[in-house]
Structure formats: C-alpha cells, structure tokens
Amino acid sequence: MRNESDSPGVLVWPPLLYGGALLLGLGLHILVPLGSMPRGPSRLAGIALLVAGAALARWGKRTMQRAGTNIHPSQPALALVDEGPFRFTRNPLYLALTIVYAGVALLTPAIWPLVLLIPVLWLMQWGVVRREERYLEWKFGEVYLAYQRRVRRWL
C-alpha cells in the first residue's frame, strides 16, 4: 500500500463520531423514547464507566505523548507504541471513547444511545480501525504485524 499523505485516511475523527451519535441518541430519546433504564443502577454503572474510560484515555494519551507520536489519526504515526495500555489493546483510546460513551448513555439513562453504539462500533471498525491497521502495516511492516499477533485489537 502506498500512502501519499502519510496518514491512515480515516473517514471520521472518532470523538466526532461518538459525540454525534450520542447527541442523536439523546435527541431520539426525547422525540421517540424507547423507555429508560432504572435510574439508580444505571447511574452507578454510568459513573463507574465514565471514570474508567477517562482514566484509560488519559493513560493512552500520555503513553503516546511519551513515545513522541501524534495522537490525532489524520497526522503521521511517528512511532509504534506498545507500552502502557497498548500492551493490552491496540486501540486504548477508542476503547476509552466507547467506555465513556456507554457511561454517559447510562447516566442519562436513555436506551437510544446504547442502540446507536452498534453502528458506531461498526463505523469505527470499518472507517477508522481497519484503515489505521493498513497504514501501520505499511509504515512499520513486520514490527507492526508482530505487534498485531501479540496484542488484541480491542480486548
């Protein structure tokens, strides 16, 4: 694969995708409610997920900064990061976005945002993750392929 711009060419900036889907889900909850989840348990779970997702995002961002590589997916990868949370998942920042999204959805406690998480994850896989994987394979070759064999994509 030849990459003229030295970037993975993702279709959408992941925070925009998750944020847009969350807003759409909350809007649908107001216009066409599917019901709600029990407030007490969903709020506790939502807070726990929000805290866990934020901590994972911070850990992943700091690890990438220490490695000296770009965080934004439209910029070139300057290093292959395999430390910190990248030892457990190849996509800790996207996993963190998913966890935070689920946490916010449970805090509301609307069902629509959780329903929309399914197409969000499909779009992430197809329009972001696969493109990044092809790009990283092109950029880092066998080193990245070995990392892929060693570390799971999500969990």
Q: Specify the pLDDT at position 2.
A: 46
Residue 64: C-alpha distances to residues 27, 54, 59, 75, 87 (Å): 35, 15, 9, 13, 12
Residue 111: C-alpha distances to residues 26, 44, 51, 120 (Å): 9, 16, 20, 15
Answer left, alpha or beta for residue 69, where phi above 0 means left and psi between -120 and 50 means alpha.
beta
Least confident of 1-5, 6-10, 59-63, 110-114: 1-5
Q: Specify the pLDDT at position 7.
A: 85
Nearest C-alpha neighbor of 64 from the set 81, 41, 87, 77: 81
Structure tokens at 41: 């348990």
Distance CA 155, CA 56 (A): 13
How much of the chain exceeds pLDDT 90, in percent?
Answer: 85
Q: Specify the pLDDT at position 9.
A: 87
- What is the average pLDDT across 72-78? 92
How much of the chain exceeds pLDDT 70, in percent?
Answer: 97
- Is the pLDDT reported for residue 1 higher than 70? no
Query: 123: exposed, middle or buried (C-beta count within 10 Å: 0-12, 13-18, 19+)?
Result: middle
Question: Bridge-partner residues for 110, per DSSP?
Answer: 36
